[in-house]
């Protein structure tokens, strides 16, 4: 069987050819990019290019002037409607009219428009009069960053520092809210030097404060407080072609091939793979949305519902420098900048492995026209982990070993909000587990200081000296996931199982103690606000109406990441706005309007529309359609290795079936076929 024993002449020829061909370093795009066949439209499919164009036409028809589009997205159908659609057979599916939700500013007033794509009508047009502003548009940021370059005082400041104006590039920063009673749409603009390196974030021109009014598109405040040296460009460039040798260490490559083709089938945005079926949507605010994930139960001969909808609802990044130039940096990356709108095109073979399939997306530009995001996310199979195994050495005269290899399915996006790159993975396993991982890369935000060595530090710098003149400022990253689990149906409960020590005092055992469990169905929102790490417990979403044959409630449990709690005081403005981080886990009854944990209008929000406020209603969550919200955090004390670009730092958690199946659901899942390359010249 082994190839080395069957080297016929034709195989020799083959081997030479193979050697030649494998040596070609093909900078190819992996599998065909964006091979999305004409979809059988799913009601959750993201808006198409044509739909966005149509929406624009409809809206401009009513509001032809002074309009900017801040959000254009699918108005997802009612859950009952969608579930009915999903449960109907192919030819009897009810028609679900496509609708869009638009947030636009018309003459500086925020409008919420509901659009029918079928009747081509505006179904409603409401004015948002509360606090908070919509997500910034990419275009207004592009416009705002050009303002300083033509602004006299700034040009003077640049000159005063001996810098070259043509090498200055600026960036927009949201300003947060610090108790002001009146808010206007303004942002801070900070500038950087791009000479000699494209790594702008490590070369800030500090000491200057620029406030831009976005509606006026003008600088309304300007201060030049103090001059700090701009950190050197040396050793900060990250593009290979601009770096000086020596390079290293050398990493050896892998050629790979799927002889049976990919294991998934893609129909539009619906993916079926192994025992999973799921819809992967895109939204300019949320990024990738996983919907209607169900898993086929081999034993029950049916697909069973697991996740109705999952996505990252908000990302809160508070910096920890209270000084005038930094205090306001308490960003809400999803609500302020748009997590989906900040997704970047992924690089085949590097951002996603070979055999990945890429999906394009469209979001609306400021003028409402569709903007193409190529290779917006990818889907690929991950090979080679162990699925389960056992060696049985305990039966005399028998050697028993069974090891099954896993393949899993990963959906990946990269969201780059300014300096940071967030790699977000959803991994689906044949065992029913869903592993969610977030990895950080990109750059630190650097504060320029007149300090070249730690010994020179005389006062609190609010960060780590990571390079000469460069302080990496302390900050956090708090991601909150919206996880609308529908375990075998909508009506679910949230169960906390405490692990409690029991003292043996009656001499009934030689043990003095043991632990047991105490399960509690949490009935109200207030009970389901969980701070992890205080006492050992397991958290699960179960279906109290469905039992396994031996009587356990079917469920999925949360295996949390390393626990990270916010450190700011709860009454501090940023923490009021980011109050959804006050607990690690929250559970709410499903409400179509409760999508964004930090609120719908997050720019300069005041915390009135957050998960922390909604849950004050203390609604019933027992045997209801419930949503679990889970916060994953990272406290970031920068270190020199994070500079000038940060090696991936990962955290993650797992949603794991727990008495959902009657038994291990992959007991009868065979390892994939193994293929050995016929000729491996360097291996022997």
Among 235, 267, 521, 623, binds a copy of itself (CB under 8 A): 235
Distance between CA atoms of residues 292 and 310, nearest Å: 9
The residues pairing with 283 across neighbouring beta strands, listed in sequence order, are: 287
Does a cis peptide bond (omega within 30 degrees of 0) precede residue 376? no
Among 119, 547, 591, 620, binds a copy of itself (CB under 8 A): 547
Residue with tokens 């002037």: 65
Q: Of the listed pieces 53-61, 75-83, 91-99, 462-470, which binds a copy of itself according to CB under 8 A? A: 462-470
**Segment 473-492, which members bind a copy of itself (CB under 8 A)?**
474
Q: Where are the alpha helices (DSSP H) in 316-387?
A: 333-337
Phi/psi of residue 154, nearest 5 degrees: -70, -45
**Segment 112-131, which members bind a copy of itself (CB under 8 A)?**
none
Among 62, 159, 216, 676, binds a copy of itself (CB under 8 A): 676
Q: At 394, is the secondary structure helix, strand, or coil?
A: coil
Residue 2 binds to a copy of itself (criterion: CB under 8 A): yes
Residue 680 binds to a copy of itself (criterion: CB under 8 A): yes
Among 7, 12, 26, 61, binds a copy of itself (CB under 8 A): 26
Q: With contact defined as beta carbons under 8 Å apart, do 627 and 592 qualify?
A: no
- Closest distance between a copy of itself and the C-beta of residue 302, in Å? 13
Distance between CA atoms of residues 607 and 64, nearest Å: 33
Residue 146 binds to a copy of itself (criterion: CB under 8 A): yes
Among 12, 165, 218, 393, binds a copy of itself (CB under 8 A): 393
Of the pair 119, 142, the CB lying nearest a copy of itself is at 142
Q: Of the listed pieces 26-34, 49-57, 75-83, 332-340, which binds a copy of itself according to CB under 8 A? A: 26-34
Q: Of the listed pieces 128-136, 454-462, 482-490, 620-628, which binds a copy of itself according to CB under 8 A? A: 454-462
Distance between CA atoms of residues 418 and 128, nearest Å: 28
Distance between CA atoms of residues 505 and 275, nearest Å: 50
- Closest distance between a copy of itself and the C-beta of residue 149, in Å? 10
Q: At 420, is the secondary structure helix, strand, or coil?
A: strand
Among 57, 66, 166, 640, binds a copy of itself (CB under 8 A): 640
Indicate which residue of 282, 311, 420, 573 is catalytic: 420
Torsion 516-521-525-527 (CA) sign: negative
Token pair recorded at residue 580: 């959804």
Q: With contact defined as beta carbons under 8 Å apart, do 542 and 499 qualify?
A: no
Among 69, 71, 337, 660, binds a copy of itself (CB under 8 A): 660
Torsion 672-678-679-684 (CA) sign: positive
Q: Of the listed pieces 14-22, 50-58, 81-89, 621-629, which binds a copy of itself according to CB under 8 A? A: 14-22
Residue 573 binds to a copy of itself (criterion: CB under 8 A): yes
* Annotated catalytic residue 420: yes
Distance between CA atoms of residues 538 and 525, nearest Å: 18
Among 5, 9, 23, 182, binds a copy of itself (CB under 8 A): 23
Distance between CA atoms of residues 390 and 5, nearest Å: 32
Distance between CA atoms of residues 30 and 20, nearest Å: 19
Residue 404 binds to a copy of itself (criterion: CB under 8 A): yes
Does a cis peptide bond (omega within 30 degrees of 0) precede residue 246? yes
Q: Of the listed pieces 52-60, 308-316, 488-496, 560-568, which binds a copy of itself according to CB under 8 A? A: 560-568
- Closest distance between a copy of itself and the C-beta of residue 511, in Å? 4
**Segment 603-632, which members bind a copy of itself (CB under 8 A)?**
none
- Closest distance between a copy of itself and the C-beta of residue 114, in Å? 31
Distance between CA atoms of residues 162 and 107, nearest Å: 41
- Closest distance between a copy of itself and the C-beta of residue 224, in Å? 20
DSSP code per residue over 7-39: --HHHHHHHHHHHHHHHS-----SSPTT--PPP
**Segment 265-284, which members bind a copy of itself (CB under 8 A)?**
274-275
**Segment 340-369, which members bind a copy of itself (CB under 8 A)?**
344-347, 349-351, 353-355
Q: Where are the alpha helices (DSSP H) in 63-176?
A: 79-87, 138-144, 152-160
Among 33, 42, 25, which Cα is nearest to 90's?
42
Of the pair 95, 252, the CB lying nearest a copy of itself is at 252
Strand segments (E) across 456-529: 463-467, 470-473, 475-485, 491-503, 513-522
Among 546, 655, 490, which Cα is nearest to 300's?
546
Residue 12 binds to a copy of itself (criterion: CB under 8 A): no
Residue 545 binds to a copy of itself (criterion: CB under 8 A): no
**Cβ contacts of 329 within 8 Å, gap of 6 or more:** 173, 176, 317, 318, 319, 321, 445, 473, 475
The residues pairing with 635 across neighbouring beta strands, listed in sequence order, are: 476
Token pair recorded at residue 270: 């619906």
Number of residues interacting with a copy of itself: please give it, by CB under 8 A.
206
Among 253, 459, 593, 616, binds a copy of itself (CB under 8 A): 253
Among 54, 147, 198, 227, binds a copy of itself (CB under 8 A): 198
* Annotated catalytic residue 308: no
Q: Of the listed pieces 50-58, 88-96, 121-129, 377-385, which binds a copy of itself according to CB under 8 A? A: 377-385
Among 34, 267, 369, 441, binds a copy of itself (CB under 8 A): 441
Q: At 581, is the secondary structure helix, strand, or coil?
A: helix
- Closest distance between a copy of itself and the C-beta of residue 205, in Å? 14
Q: Of the listed pieces 70-78, 308-316, 572-580, 622-630, which binds a copy of itself according to CB under 8 A? A: 572-580
- Closest distance between a copy of itself and the C-beta of residue 394, in Å? 5
Residue 559 binds to a copy of itself (criterion: CB under 8 A): yes
Look up residue 203 and give its DSSP letter.
Answer: S
Residue 517 binds to a copy of itself (criterion: CB under 8 A): yes
Q: At 148, is the secondary structure helix, strand, or coil?
A: helix
Residue 28 binds to a copy of itself (criterion: CB under 8 A): yes
**Segment 148-187, which members bind a copy of itself (CB under 8 A)?**
169, 171, 178-179
What are the residue numbers of the active site? 333, 420
């Amino acid at each position: 069987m082994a190839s080395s024993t069957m080297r016929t002449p034709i195989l020799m020829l083959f081997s030479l050819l193979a050697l030649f061909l494998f040596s070609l370093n093909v900078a190819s795009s992996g599998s065909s990019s964006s091979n999305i066949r004409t979809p059988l439209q799913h009601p959750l499919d993201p808006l198409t290019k044509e739909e966005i164009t149509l929406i624009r036409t409809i809206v401009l028809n009513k509001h032809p002037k002074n309009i900017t589009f801040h959000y254009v997205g699918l108005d997802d159908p009612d859950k009952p409607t969608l579930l009915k659609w999903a449960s109907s057979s192919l030819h009897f599916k009810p028609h679900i009219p496509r609708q869009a939700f638009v947030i636009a500013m018309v003459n500086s007033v925020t409008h919420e428009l509901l659009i029918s794509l079928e009747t081509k009508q505006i179904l409603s047009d409401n004015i948002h009069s509360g606090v908070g502003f919509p997500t910034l548009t990419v275009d207004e940021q592009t416009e705002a960053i050009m303002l300083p370059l033509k602004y006299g005082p700034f040009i003077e400041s640049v000159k005063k520092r001996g810098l070259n104006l043509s090498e200055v590039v600026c960036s927009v920063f949201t300003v947060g809210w610090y108790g002001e009673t009146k808010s206007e749409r303004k942002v801070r603009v900070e500038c950087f030097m791009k000479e000699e390196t494209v790594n702008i974030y490590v070369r800030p021109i500090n000491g200057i404060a620029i406030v831009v009014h976005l509606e006026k598109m003008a600088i309304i405040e300007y201060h030049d407080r103090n001059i700090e040296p701009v950190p050197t460009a040396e050793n900060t460039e990250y593009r290979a072609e601009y770096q000086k040798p020596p390079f290293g260490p050398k990493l050896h490559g892998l050629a790979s091939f799927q002889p049976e083709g990919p294991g998934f089938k893609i129909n539009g945005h619906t993916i079926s793979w192994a025992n999973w079926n799921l819809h992967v949507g895109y939204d300019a605010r949320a990024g990738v949305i996983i919907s209607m994930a169900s898993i086929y139960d081999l034993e029950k001969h049916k697909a069973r519902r697991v996740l109705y909808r999952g996505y990252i609802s908000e990302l809160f990044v508070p910096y920890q420098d209270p000084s005038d130039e930094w205090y306001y940096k308490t960003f809400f990356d999803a609500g302020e900048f748009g997590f989906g709108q900040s997704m970047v095109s992924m690089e085949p073979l590097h951002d996603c492995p070979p055999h990945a399939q890429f999906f394009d997306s469209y979001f609306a530009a400021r003028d409402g026209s569709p903007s193409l995001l190529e290779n917006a996310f990818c889907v690929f199979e991950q090979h080679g982990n162990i699925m389960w195994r056992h060696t049985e050495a305990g039966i005399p005269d028998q050697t028993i070993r069974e090891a099954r290899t896993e393949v899993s399915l990963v959906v990946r996006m990269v969201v780059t909000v300014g300096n940071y790159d967030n790699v977000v993975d959803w991994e689906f396993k044949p065992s029913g587990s869903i592993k969610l991982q977030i990895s950080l890369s990109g750059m630190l935000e650097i504060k320029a200081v007149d300090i070249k060595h730690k010994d020179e530090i005389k006062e609190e710098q609010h960060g780590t000296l990571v390079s000469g003149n460069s302080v990496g400022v302390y900050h956090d990253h708090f991601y909150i996931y919206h996880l609308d689990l529908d375990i075998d149906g909508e009506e679910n409960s949230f169960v906390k199982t405490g692990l409690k020590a029991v003292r043996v005092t009656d001499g009934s055992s030689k043990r003095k103690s043991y632990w047991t469990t105490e399960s509690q169905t949490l009935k109200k929102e207030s009970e389901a606000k969980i701070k992890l790490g205080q006492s050992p417990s397991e958290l699960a979403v179960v279906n109290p109406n469905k039992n396994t044959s031996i009587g356990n409630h079917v469920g999925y449990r949360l295996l949390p990441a390393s626990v990270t709690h916010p450190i700011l005081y709860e009454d501090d403005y940023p923490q009021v706005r980011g109050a959804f981080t006050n607990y690690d886990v929250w559970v709410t009854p499903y409400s179509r309007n409760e999508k964004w944990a930090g609120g719908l209008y997050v720019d300069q929000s005041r915390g009135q529309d957050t998960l922390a406020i909604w849950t004050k209603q203390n609604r019933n969550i027992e045997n209801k359609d419930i949503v679990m919200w889970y916060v994953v955090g990272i406290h970031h004390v920068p270190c020199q290795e994070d500079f000038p670009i940060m090696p991936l730092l990962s955290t993650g958690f797992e949603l794991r079936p727990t008495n959902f199946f009657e038994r291990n659901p992959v007991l009868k899942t065979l390892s994939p076929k193994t293929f050995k390359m016929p000729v491996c010249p360097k291996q022997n």
